[in-house]
Amino acid sequence: MNNQRIVVMGVSGCGKTTVGLALAERLGARFVEGDQLHPPQNVERMASGIPLTDTDRWPWLDAVGAALAGDAPVVASCSALKRSYRDRLRAQAGAPLCFLHLAGDRAALAQRPGPARPRRGADRDLRRAARGAARSLSGGPTDRLMARIAILGAGFMGGALTVPAADNGHTVALWGTHLDDHLIAAVRAGAKHPKLGLVLPPAVTAYDSTELPRALAGADLVVCAVTSDGALPVLRRAATRIAPGVPVLSVSKGLAQSRGRAVTLSDAIADAAKLQVVTVGGPSKALEL
């Protein structure tokens, strides 16, 4: 079941509504426009160019949180720039929330049109106040940001990993080798994954063997779930497409040959593909995930 509750957050003019609507359409979710839930007095203050105080915001955040508590999946737009605001939303929603932060530099934001207001100066003042109110998004264990996860290998393990990733509010790119093309075709058709026997979540986008660059584009985490004999060739291909600093997690099992000796797969990947890899090992079954 897709029980995602996503808050698209950021300062005024960053594109929360545009991105939120597109995301809701992609996930088959309902969309909540947070600005439409402001009480009349808040609307009057903003129209006059007066930044809202926390006291002004609490009833509004309660209304947005209540909307998030309804049927899932749901995507809402809401500035949510302070940790206390996000905590308030969680309390009202009564369920885990995933926050997707839209960020940009000041020059780029200044060129974007803000919500309709009578004075440009007022709009600049409100944006400045919002930026000043922003707090670190990694301020505690309950702050969870949406990430794009690229999973390489669409078999049992790769397919199974899409489910907890999507359930935790992330978008997933599932890429298959040429041996997985029939699996990718089934996922794209909305049918059950032929090996797992279940329909993958809407947050999963499937890519066939010719689409590796697209699958890796914008990835915050790369997971290698290709069988051990195919992991090295795949990661060699992927290495130039993985952005610097993006972590690579390997769940592939087995050993590999490197410089004439048997080594762990992670060591072989580091040597051959020049990637730093974290390996998860141990006995497990894909369906246990």
> What is the 3-state secondary structure of the chain?
CCCCEEEEECCCCCCHHHHHHHHHHHHCCEEEEHHHHCCHHHHHHHHCCCCCCHHHHHHHHHHHHHHHCCCCCEEEECCCCCHHHHHHHHHHHCCCCEEEECCCCHHHHHHCCCCCCCCHHHHHHHHHHHHHHCCCCCCCCCCCECCEEEEECCCHHHHHHHHHHHHCCCEEEEECCHHHHHHHHHHHCCCCCCCCCCCCCCCEEEECCCCHHHHHCCCCEEEECCCHHHHHHHHHHHHCCCCCCCCEEECCCCEEEECCEEEEHHHHHHHHCCCCEEECCCCCCHHHC
pLDDT at 125: 41
pLDDT digits (tens, 9 = 90+) for 42-89: 999 888 888 888 899 999 999 999 999 988 899 999 988 888 888 899
pLDDT at 206: 95
Task: Reply yes or no on whether the pLDDT at 182 is more than 50.
Answer: yes
- For residues 139 and 83, is the Cβ–Cβ distance under 8 A? yes
Looking up tokens 């009349």 gives 40
5-133 and 148-288 share one fold: yes
Q: Could you state, in order of their start, the residue ranges of all structural domains in the chain?
A: 5-133, 148-288
Which position has the higher pLDDT, 11 or 5? 5
The number of CA neighbours under 13 Å toward the Cβ of 6 is 34
User: In angstroms, what is the C-alpha Rg of the chain?
Assistant: 22
- What is the percent of the chain with per-residue pLDDT over 90, rounded to a whole number? 40
> In CATH, which superfamily holds the domain spanning 5-133?
P-loop containing nucleotide triphosphate hydrolases (3.40.50.300)
> In CATH, which superfamily holds the domain spanning 148-288?
NAD(P)-binding Rossmann-like Domain (3.40.50.720)
CB atoms < 10 A from the CB of 136, how many?
8
Taking the C-alpha atoms of residue 236 and residue 54, their distance in angstroms, rounded to an integer, is 51
Which position has the higher pLDDT, 282 or 21? 21
Task: Reply yes or no on whether the pLDDT at 145 is more than 50.
Answer: yes
Two tokens, residue 265: 């797969």
Two tokens, residue 93: 């929603």
pLDDT digits (tens, 9 = 90+) for 107-132: 555 565 554 433 333 444 444 444 44
pLDDT tier for residue 136 given thresholds of 50, 70 and 90: very low
Task: Reply yes or no on whether the pLDDT at 155 is more than 80.
Answer: yes
